[in-house]
Amino acid sequence: MEKVIIDRIDVRLLEALQEGGRATNLELADAIKLSPAQTLRRHRRLEEIGLIKRYETRLDPSALGLGVVAFIQVTMERGHIRDLGKFINLVADLPQIQECFSVTGEFDYMLKVVERDLKLLSIFLLDTLMRIPGVSSVNSTVCLDEIKNTSALPLR
């Protein structure tokens, strides 16, 4: 991937957007001490070069009845490369899975999963995740308390 060059004003704009994605152009301009026209031009440029991937609304899982967060380590069967496409497609379609990473170490994938309660997490693990072709084993760690949860990147 080609490294993108941004200046300190772009960094301030990105920080302002990370703090408040619904900020108006006027609010962003005020935050970064630039004219609204220049702010809009920079904002559009950052979108066009791909630094801004998307805008989203972050919902409160517990307020929606999703009281369990678990981190799932998935180990694939030896030679799982033949089932990799199926695994990736199924994982992408499962709404309980918020994040999935291919990792190094003792297991192959790390998933962040949300579910309503432990019983439904158990059903998800046994009846869904363990039945995906190529999955050899899963190991789950249930989150007791959320200490920090952010999508903001360190820009400085």
| Better-scored residue on pLDDT, 139 or 82 | 139
**What pLDDT, on the 0 to 100 scale, is given for residue 59?**
93
Per CATH, is 62-142 categorized as 2.40.50.140? no
Which pLDDT tens digit goes with each residue over 29-73?
A: 999 999 999 999 999 999 999 999 999 999 999 999 999 999 999
**What pLDDT, on the 0 to 100 scale, is given for residue 146?**
94
Per CATH, is 8-48 categorized as 1.10.3720.10? no
Domain definitions of the chain by residue range: 8-48, 62-142
3-state secondary structure of 114: strand
Helices 8-19, 36-48: axis angle to 10 degrees equals 80
> What is the average per-residue pLDDT within 130-149?
94
